[in-house]
Copies of this chain bind each other. A is one copy, B any other.
Amino acid sequence: MLDSIFRALADPARRQMVERLTRGAASVSELAAPLSMSLPGVMQHLKVLDDAGLTISEKRGRVRWRRLNADAMATAESWIAERRRLWNTRLDALERHLKADNGD
């Protein structure tokens, strides 16, 4: 899960698609428009985003739409946030320790 989410976010074209999707659901052609890329290239990137669970694909009428899945983004964000929190707690403890050693 985290493997595929972080891998999906490691590409600028895929991040640009995520960026576009924060403004609402989009069709493949809307997602492809700002990118200088072949349609198969676009489809491949979308598959990586879908497989990671970052995007949800829905067919309405004859058009397939993608929308963001905030849960997958939250999973990745929480993993990093928790590691940062642990590290900061560790730094704070070190600082207190050094201050105590200096008799502050």
Question: Is there contact, CB below 8 Å, between A80 and B76?
Answer: yes
Question: Is there contact, CB below 8 Å, between B80 and A9?
Answer: yes
Contacting residues, chain B, for A22 (C-beta < 8 A): 83, 86-87, 90
Indicate how many identical chains form the complex.
Answer: 2
Instruction: Please give the distance in Å from A77's CB to the nearest CB on chain B.
Output: 4
Mark A residues whose CB is within 8 Å of B: 2-4, 6-7, 9-12, 15, 18-19, 21-24, 68, 70, 73-74, 76-77, 79-81, 83-84, 86-88, 90-91, 94
Further pairs besides A9-B80, A70-B91, A73-B83: 16, Cβ < 8 Å: A2-B15, A3-B10, A3-B12, A6-B7, A10-B10, A18-B83, A21-B87, A22-B90, A23-B90, A24-B94, A68-B83, A70-B84, A70-B87, A73-B80, A77-B81, A80-B80
